[in-house]
Amino acid sequence: MRLLFCLLLVPGLATAEIYRWTDASGQVHFDQRPAASGAEQVEVRPQVVERDQLTREREERTSRFYQARREEQAQAMAAAAQQQAERETECRKLRSMLADIAEGPTYYQPAADGQRKYYSDEELDTARRQLRDRVSERCS
């Protein structure tokens, strides 16, 4: 990041005019505009920084580390989105079941012998309560 910043800064420095002057108290000043008296233009040459092998390897490791972190974050976001979609599907199903129980005067479940087993009023109330509890727990 610092290297990128320096590379972006270098062309600006190459074209900038820098002036140096000394004030009455002997202090040296630098500015982009010349002072009223005795300022001289200074040539600014960009510094070339050579990186050794260890530095290049460290930068490469750092780059791989951050790339791995970005991939982990993307996978975590995808997993979270999938879980959210599954939860929304489950909530739609629960709400539909609750609406079906609330609308129908009779509610039944198929028995093993092929007959219908009708719910009593108490069983319907229990089923509604359980569905409402699951909706409030899973869909809030």
Q: What pLDDT digit, counting tens, does each position of 74-117 carry? A: 999 999 999 999 999 999 998 888 888 776 667 777 888 888 88
7 is written with which tokens?
């590379």
* DSSP conformational letter for 137: H
The confidence score (pLDDT) of residue 101 equals 78
* Bigger pLDDT: 9 vs 126: 126
The confidence score (pLDDT) of residue 57 equals 94
Q: What percent of the chain has pLDDT over 90?
A: 30
| Residues belonging to the chain | 140
Q: Is the pLDDT of residue 50 over 80?
A: yes
Q: What is the mean pLDDT of the chain?
A: 83
The confidence score (pLDDT) of residue 64 equals 97
Q: Could you tell me which residues come within 8 angstroms of residue 98 by beta carbon, excluding any fewer than 6 positions away? A: 128, 131, 132, 135
Task: Give me the residue label for tokens 């002997």.
Answer: 26
User: Minimal CA–CA distance to 38: which of 17, 16, 22, 18?
Assistant: 22
* Bigger pLDDT: 24 vs 129: 129
Determine the Cα–Cα distance for residues 36 and 23; give it in Å rounded to an integer: 11
Which phi and psi (to 5°) does residue 37 adopt?
A: -135, 130
Task: Give me the residue label for tokens 């490469």.
Answer: 60
User: Minimal CA–CA distance to 28: which of 42, 9, 47?
Assistant: 42
Q: Is the pLDDT of residue 7 over 70?
A: no
* Bigger pLDDT: 107 vs 11: 107
* Bigger pLDDT: 43 vs 83: 83
The confidence score (pLDDT) of residue 81 equals 96
Measured at the alpha carbon of residue 78, what is the angle toward residues 73 and 79, in degrees to the nearest 5? 95
